[in-house]
């Protein structure tokens, strides 16, 4: 069972999902915060103790007034790892959370044992005139919808069917994402240089139909991490955790079982 709890880290109040038993798996959400209804979170909790915090400003985590940069989020993520018991932690990052997880891993952490990046953003691989990452804030909603999902009619949010609280949560998530990732858009110009410092076993998983960041971007990302393993998830766009949760969880389970 996945429960929603509160956690205070370095004086910052966080909404946290928690469930499962065993070695800790810290899960960092993507464009939107996670809820207990997430099938992927439940699947991952079969492999260990999942701790999934909502970043300040996302979900039900308040944002301190002076907390507004990727730098803040990366240091908070490191503080979360410090606060979690267990000798070896697996860090899983989805999309935007994959960027944060890669930043943490590049800096190094004494208890980080394995890293899983799922369709991460965070780096620039092409020249200044080429957009590597679709601008979800400035493109038309219909274009973003087609790019984001393999099967948008089935999986894209239906705002007309949402309860008011769900719409408010979605709006808070998008506002926070814009605050942290607007400029430069969805990447750190310095991260690409330091991905080679990641020294833990790493899985990079990618939705085959991702139109936000293409699988070629994913292969380039994985190629910068020594010894990383790259896999694609069929029938998924930018959010395999939503469109193919069972397949993604199984891929992660295989990765965690390897010596």
Distance between CA atoms of 92 and 255, rounded to whole angstroms? 12
Residues 139, 135: Cα–Cα separation, whole Å: 6
State yes or no: pLDDT of 259 exceeds 80. no
Residues with Cβ within 8 Å of 11's Cβ and at least 6 positions away in sequence, in order, are none
Q: How far is CA 254 from CA 2, 258, 259, in A?
A: 22, 7, 10
Please check whether residue 79 is in contact with residue 53, taking contact to mean a CB–CB distance below 8 angstroms.
no
In the prediction, which pLDDT does 86 show?
85
Query: And the tokens for 130?
Result: 């080429």
19 forms bridges with which residues in the sheet? 50
pLDDT at position 129 is 80
State residue 207's pLDDT score: 98
Q: Give the CATH number of the domain where residue 253 resides.
A: 3.40.50.1820
Q: What is the overall mean pLDDT for the chain?
A: 96
Mean pLDDT over 127-136 rounds to 91
Domain count, the chain: 1
At 65, list the tokens: 């007034």
User: For residue 53, what are the β-bridge partners?
Assistant: 16
For residue 206, pLDDT beyond 90? yes
Pairing of strands 12-19, 3-9: antiparallel
Model pLDDT, residue 127: 87
- Domain interval for residue 157: 3-257
Residue 82 CB contacts under 8 Å (≥ 6 apart), including other chains: none
pLDDT at 57: 98
Q: What is the value of pTM for the model shown?
A: 0.97
pLDDT reported for residue 130: 87
Q: In terms of DSSP bridges, do strands 24-28 and 89-94 run parallel, antiparallel, or are they unpaired?
A: parallel
Question: Tokens in use for 122?
Answer: 């965070």
Per-residue confidence (pLDDT) for residue 204, from 0 to 100:
98
pLDDT of 100 = 98
Q: What is the mean pLDDT of residues 88-103?
A: 98
What confidence category does residue 60 fall into, taking pLDDT thresholds of 50, 70 and 90?
very high
């Amino acid at each position: 069972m996945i429960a929603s709890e509160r956690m205070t880290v370095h004086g910052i109040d966080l909404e946290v999902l928690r469930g499962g038993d065993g070695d800790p798996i810290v899960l960092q959400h993507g464009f939107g915060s996670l809820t207990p209804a997430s099938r992927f979170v439940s699947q991952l909790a079969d492999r260990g103790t999942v701790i999934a915090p909502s970043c300040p400003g996302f979900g039900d985590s308040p944002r301190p007034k002076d907390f507004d940069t990727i730098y803040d989020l990366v240091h908070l993520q490191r503080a979360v790892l410090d606060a979690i018991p267990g000798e070896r932690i697996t860090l899983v990052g989805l999309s935007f959370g994959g960027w944060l997880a890669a930043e943490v891993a590049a800096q190094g952490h004494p208890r980080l044992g394995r890293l899983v990046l799922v369709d991460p953003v965070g780096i620039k691989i092409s020249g200044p005139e080429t957009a590597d990452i679709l601008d979800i804030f400035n493109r038309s909603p219909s274009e973003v919808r087609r790019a984001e999902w393999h099967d948008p009619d089935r999986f894209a949010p239906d705002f007309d069917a949402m309860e008011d609280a769900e719409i408010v949560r979605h709006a808070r998530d998008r506002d926070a994402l814009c605050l942290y990732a607007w400029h430069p858009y969805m990447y750190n110009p310095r991260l690409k240089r330091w991905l080679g410092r990641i020294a833990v076993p790493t899985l990079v998983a990618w939705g085959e139909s991702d139109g936000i960041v293409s699988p070629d971007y994913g292969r380039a990302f994985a190629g910068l991490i020594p010894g990383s393993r790259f896999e694609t998830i069929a029938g998924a766009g930018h959010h395999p955790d939503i469109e193919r949760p069972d397949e993604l969880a199984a891929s992660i389970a295989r990765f965690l079982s390897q010596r």
